[in-house]
């Protein structure tokens, strides 16, 4: 195989919008499986602005919207979704970079130059979609971005579309098996060139799109639910960096009937059933709240958000999945970097969330 | 004999109207709160069981387990396949209900349990298009009478009986599955940023005193009306994918028929949904569907008739109940961001 780096520069990236748009499901199917078809794009959804009201924006002097560039209104932008069909493209299983020899790096997949320098690329005669994007090892990105992309594309284009990626971790393999995608999963160990790669820009790190629901709802159906549905969960695994403040959060939460849970020993199915059994969940921003998509719509979610990490991921996730999002901003000392928990605000928040202690 | 059973979800409640039933922000028209001020809609439990054998009735749709000992005396047809999954389909099932109930369950069963032939009333053209798009049409067995299936895989919604009464359910998460799959297969197409989903028949079973005025007002505001029952937009026929694309391209939808609430799922998150409802006769299905699909719900309450519903039909009316759409209330609901 020839070295694919010849026509490229170190900065050659391209977006979906640079490709010719295909309109209609039948035409798109042809663009994906016809070897002679040119590279193309199918636009599934444009960017949308959505309201993300919190039931309690307390605990800090600032409203979180202000830190995300929305000073007065609690709105977030939901990224649009497009799919691309790239002939003769390469997939690097380490970085999940997609490289089109004719165009450069597919921008939503990042751009690891390792794939350019690799001279031992394999070649496979088949049409594939990557199982995840650049953040393949991050459970949030795998669950709500990469996996839904593969599930939706496979549902749209049928079983001729294979799912490809690296050797999966056990939790990832469990999720694929639950969706029936493990059969025919194409595991690769080095950058591999395919007849065609079909990928969406859902692999970008932005919060999830509406299409994440298609995969999570299937998983929830597959995993089922325990008979108890009254649990209140505190997720966080100690949050060592928060020191005494985390102990205070545990104490206050336990007053309101929350139980600290350790997810580490549980399988993905057990974790999904645990979250499905919850009526309320508390956790810090980030991966701790990654599994709230398994909760039933209407479940109360309290995001403990420090002023050092005012991201919008969880609020959009809650909005897209119909969850009640509560938000407590915890200030951080400018000098020591320690959290400065306001216990009074926490209690008000918990009371609003689940009623009196 | 105990039947094999898998619980996918337990019955629960959905807290509709996340911002509360706030007058002139969420509720327009009359100064009374809909649903008696309650903000909880019912979400169904969902469970799969295997009936050996089972009976499926196409219209009105019903399924039940049969006692193997009594099957010989009954008057029903035999299924041509040994194993099948029943589906609520046919002209008696609205498109919105078909997509969110029958089709969603069929897709979940196919993807999670495996390929099983579907058995139910012959689908309407729009239902057939949805089955085709999801590659579920080839194994469909159309029936026109009660049919016995030797092994029937039944996934049902369960609302949980209260004192022996089975309450209605309004929405659940699994209703999203087929809608998302169909929505992924279309590119949004903006026929208009404002669409009205309305039947030619009045709201529910009401006579609407100012229906023509309201239709004219909607048109003057640039709102394009789609009749989802006839699948028409003006004089043009509409395919299912056209309908999905048009709703995906809209940013505001006016709707008065709760049985079509499932179609709102084609709208992208954040779309404003203005429900027209009649005071005292409100139905939470539209509000519940908006929560499940992350839509921005408002309701315009129209006055209920003052006369007793046990009276004879008023002279000149085609139905017992009558209302008048609050056009000023709808205008406010459309304007408020």
Q: Hey, are the CB atoms on B177 and A25 less than 8 Å from each other? A: no
Q: What is the total count of domains within chain B?
A: 2
Retrieve residue A268's tokens: 């993905």
Residue B214, domain member (yes or no): yes
Give yes or no: residues B52 and B126 share one domain: yes
* B136 and B198 in a common domain: no
> pLDDT tens for residues A167-224?
999 999 999 999 989 888 999 999 999 999 999 999 888 889 999 999 999 999 999 9
Domain assignment present for B178: no
At residue A69 the predicted structure's pLDDT band, cuts being 50, 70 and 90, is very low
Q: What pLDDT digit, counting tens, does each position of A57-68 carry?
A: 655 444 444 343
CB-count exposure of residue A221 (10 Å: 0-12, 13-18, 19+)? buried
Residue B62 and residue B34 share a domain? no
CA distance A136 to A207: 15
In chain A, the residue whose alpha carbon lies closest to the alpha carbon of B296 is A51
**CATH architecture observed for domain A231-354:** 3-Layer(aba) Sandwich (3.40)
Q: B7 vs A217: CB contact, 8 Å cut-off?
A: no
Domain boundaries, chain A: 13-47+79-219, 231-354
pLDDT tens column, A6-22: 545 556 889 999 999 99
- Kindly state whether residues B60 and B127 are assigned to the same domain: yes
Contact B112 A210 (CB under 8 A): no
Q: Are residues B38 and B67 in the same domain?
A: no
Shared-domain flag, residues B152 and B240: no
Split at pLDDT 50, 70, 90, the class of A309 is: confident
Do B327 and B192 share a structural domain? Answer: yes
Asked if residue B173 belongs to a domain, the reply is: no
Chain A environment of B12 (Cβ under 8 Å): 229, 296, 298
pLDDT of residue B275: 96
Are B227 and B319 contained in the same domain?
A: yes
Closest chain A residue to the Cα of B41, Cα to Cα: A298
Burial of B120 (0-12, 13-18, 19+ CB in 10 A): buried
- Residues B52, B79: contact at Cβ < 8 Å? no
Residue B233 sits in the same domain as residue B201: yes
Domain that holds residue B242: 22-42+188-335
B76 domain-assigned: yes
Tokens standing for residue A67: 């830190």
- Last-in-domain residue among B158, B175, B196: B158
- How many Å lie between the alpha carbon of B248 and the closest alpha carbon of chain A? 8
Cα-to-chain-centroid distance, residue A200 = 13
Residue B202: predicted pLDDT: 52
Q: What's the mean pLDDT when you consider all of chain B?
A: 88
Surface of A (226-245) touching B: CB under 8 A: 227, 229
Q: Would you state the pLDDT for residue A60? A: 45
Query: Could you tell me if B66 and B34 lie in one domain?
Result: no
Cβ-in-10-Å burial (0-12, 13-18, 19+) of B232 comes to middle
Residues 6+ apart with CB under 8 A from A273: A223, A224, A225, A226, A294
Classify residue B329: in a domain, yes or no.
yes
pLDDT tens for each residue of B190-211: 999 999 998 776 555 667 888 8
Distance from CA of B207 to the nearest CA of A (A): 34
pLDDT tens digits, A19-43? 999 998 889 999 999 989 999 999 9
Burial of A209 (0-12, 13-18, 19+ CB in 10 A): buried
- With respect to residue B52, please indicate whether it lies within any of the assigned structural domains: yes
Chain A closest CA to B5's CA: distance in Å? 11
Is there a domain that residue B15 lies in? no
**Is residue B139 domain-shared with residue B262, that is, in the same domain?**
no
Pairwise CA distance, residues B285 & B283, whole Å: 6
User: What integer pLDDT is reported at residue A3 of this predicted model?
Assistant: 46
Q: Are residues B89 and B201 in the same domain?
A: no
Q: Reply yes or no on whether the pLDDT at B235 is more than 90.
A: no
DSSP one-letter string for B165-202: B-------GGGHHHHHHHHHTS----S-SEEEE--SSP
Does A214 contact B248 at a Cβ distance shorter than 8 Å?
Answer: no
DSSP one-letter string for B117-177 = -EEEEPPPHHHHHHHHHTT-STTEEEESS-EEESEEEEEEEE---BTTB-------GGGHH
pLDDT score at A307? 82
């Amino acid at each position: 195989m020839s070295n694919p780096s010849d026509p490229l520069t170190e900065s050659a990236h391209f977006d979906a919008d640079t490709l010719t748009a295909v309109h209609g499901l039948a035409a798109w199917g042809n663009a994906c499986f016809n070897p002679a078809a040119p590279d193309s794009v199918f636009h599934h959804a444009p960017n949308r602005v959505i309201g993300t009201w919190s039931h309690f924006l307390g605990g800090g002097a600032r409203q979180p919207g202000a830190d995300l560039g929305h000073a007065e209104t609690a709105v977030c932008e939901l990224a649009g979704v497009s799919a691309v069909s790239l002939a003769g493209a390469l997939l690097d299983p380490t970085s999940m970079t997609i490289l089109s020899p004719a165009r450069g790096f597919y921008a939503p997949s990042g751009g690891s130059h390792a794939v350019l320098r690799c001279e031992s690329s394999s070649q496979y005669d088949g049409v594939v979609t990557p199982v995840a994007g650049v953040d393949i090892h991050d459970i949030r990105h795998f669950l709500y971005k990469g996996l839904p992309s593969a599930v939706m594309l496979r549902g749209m284009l049928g079983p001729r579309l294979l799912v490809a990626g690296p050797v999966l971790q056990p939790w990832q393999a469990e999720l694929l098996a639950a969706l029936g995608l493990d059969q025919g999963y194409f595991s690769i160990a080095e950058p591999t060139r395919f007849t065609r790669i079909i990928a969406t820009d859902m692999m970008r790190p932005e919060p999830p799109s509406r299409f994440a629901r298609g995969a999570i709802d299937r998983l929830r159906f597959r995993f089922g639910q325990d008979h108890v549905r009254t649990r209140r969960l505190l997720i966080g695994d100690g949050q060592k960096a928060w020191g005494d403040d985390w102990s205070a959060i545990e104490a206050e939460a336990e007053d309101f009937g929350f139980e600290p849970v350790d997810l580490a020993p549980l399988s993905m199915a057990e974790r999904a059933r645990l979250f499905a059994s919850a009526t309320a969940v508390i956790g810090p921003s980030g991966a701790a709240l990654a599994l709230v998509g398994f909760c039933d719509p209407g479940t109360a979610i309290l995001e403990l958000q420090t002023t050092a990490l005012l991201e919008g991921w969880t609020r959009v996730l809650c909005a897209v999945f119909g969850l009640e999002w509560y938000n407590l901003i915890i200030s951080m000392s400018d000098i020591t970097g320690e959290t400065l928990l306001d216990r009074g605000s926490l209690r008000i928040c918990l009371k609003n969330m689940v009623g009196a202690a | 004999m105990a039947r094999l059973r898998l619980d996918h979800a337990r019955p629960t409640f959905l807290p509709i109207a996340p911002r509360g039933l706030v007058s002139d922000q969420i509720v327009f028209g009359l100064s009374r709160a809909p649903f008696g001020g309650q903000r909880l809609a019912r979400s169904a439990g969902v469970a799969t069981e295997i009936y050996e054998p089972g009976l499926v009735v196409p219209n009105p749709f019903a399924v039940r387990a049969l006692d193997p000992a009594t099957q010989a005396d009954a008057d029903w047809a035999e299924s041509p396949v040994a194993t099948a999954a029943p589906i609520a389909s046919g002209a008696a099932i609205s498109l919105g209900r078909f997509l969110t109930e029958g089709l969603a369950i069929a897709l979940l069963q196919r993807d999670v349990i495996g390929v099983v032939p579907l058995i139910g009333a012959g689908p309407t053209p729009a239902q057939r298009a949805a089955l085709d798009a999801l590659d579920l049409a080839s194994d469909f067995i159309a029936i026109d009478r009660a049919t016995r299936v030797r092994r029937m895989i039944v996934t049902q919604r369960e609302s949980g009986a209260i004192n022996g009464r089975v309450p209605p359910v309004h929405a659940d998460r699994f209703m999203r599955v087929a809608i998302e799959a169909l929505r992924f297969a279309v590119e949004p197409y903006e026929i208009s940023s404002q669409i009205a989903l309305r039947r030619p028949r009045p709201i529910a079973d009401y006579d609407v005193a100012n229906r023509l005025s309201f239709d004219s007002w909607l048109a003057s505001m640039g709102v394009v009306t789609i009749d989802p029952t006839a699948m028409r937009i003006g004089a043009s026929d509409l395919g299912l994918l056209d309908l999905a694309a048009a709703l995906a391209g809209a940013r505001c939808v006016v709707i008065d028929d709760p049985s079509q609430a499932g179609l709102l799922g084609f709208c992208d998150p954040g779309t404003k949904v203005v429900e027209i409802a009649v005071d005292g006769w409100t139905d939470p299905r539209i509000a519940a569907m908006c929560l499940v699909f992350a839509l921005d719900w408002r309701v315009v309450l129209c006055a209920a008739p003052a006369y007793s519903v046990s009276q004879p039909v008023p002279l000149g009316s085609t139905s017992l109940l009558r209302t008048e759409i609050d056009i000023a209330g709808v205008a406010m609901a459309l304007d408020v961001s």
